[in-house]
Amino acid sequence: MSAFTRELDRDGGRYLSRVTHLEMDACPAGDEPDAPAGTLIETWHAPAVDAYLALFRRVGEPWLWYGRLRQSRESIAAHLRAPTTELYRLWVDEVLAGFVELDRSTPDETEIAYFGLVPGYPGRGLGGYLLRVAVQRAWRGDIRRVWLHTCSEDHPDALAIYQHVGFRPFAVETQWVRDPRLAGLLPRSAAPHVPIPE
């Protein structure tokens, strides 16, 4: 359970989320870390919408990721084809284990829009490795800032991991979120650490 106290709006089917925005303004020294044995990070060029959403759900369901699930298929397809979108998949012993999505749509900066591992892979040091690779790749080109955000529904270690690799919080906000489980976007079994507001 997050240290953030849960507040629920049961009449409106909403929960209160705390969102922390983090950034770095210089590329960390050094090159990409060496790949652990049996791992491979591959560029995922313009994937099919169904394949993308399947991985998005596998990685994000435990943490209530819903952003892409509220978009139209046409909007997602256009995003995946955009030259400013970069996707990378992590394979471990030839099994798909996670992904990273970079968004370069704002000049001079890169957002790490999505980053995570498939259930069963956190806790093995793979997240830190994938994140460090993502940061190095996010800094490619004429970039002045790399940023991301996390929220109180995320993995309890997420904020500490981001800060450990060099991100600094620059804004924190709270917002009411309509529960995607009640909307049918995610199964009711998703993210049991977040009570369903009903």
pLDDT digit string, tens, across residues 137-150: 999 999 999 999 99
pLDDT at residue 177 greater than cutoff 50:
yes
User: Taking Cα atoms as reference points, which of 74, 64, 190 lies closest to residue 116?
Assistant: 64
| Mean pLDDT of the region 122-140 | 92
Residue 1 pLDDT level (bands cut at 50, 70, 90): very low
| Mean pLDDT of the region 128-155 | 96
pLDDT tens-place string over residues 86-122: 999 999 999 999 999 999 999 999 999 999 999 988 8
Across the chain, what does the average pLDDT equal? 94
DSSP three-state, residue 75: helix
| Mean pLDDT of the region 185-197 | 95
Largest CA distance in the chain: 51
| Mean pLDDT of the region 64-83 | 97
Q: How far apart are CA 59 and CA 57, in angstroms?
A: 5
| Mean pLDDT of the region 157-171 | 95
Alpha-carbon separation of residue 56 from 11, 22, 197 (angstroms): 29, 22, 24
Tokens standing for 54?
Answer: 């399947």
More confident residue, 108 or 2: 108
Alpha-carbon separation of residue 3 from 152, 157, 194 (angstroms): 8, 11, 12
Tokens standing for 142?
Answer: 């004429």
The residue type found at 107 is P
Any residues with CB less than 8 A from the CB of 48 and at least 6 apart, and which? none
pLDDT at residue 2 greater than cutoff 70:
no
E strand segments, the chain = 8-9, 14-24, 39-43, 85-92, 95-103, 109-117, 145-151, 168-178
pLDDT tens-place string over residues 25-69: 999 988 889 999 999 999 999 999 999 999 999 999 999 999 999
Q: What is the pLDDT, as a whole number, of residue 5? A: 54
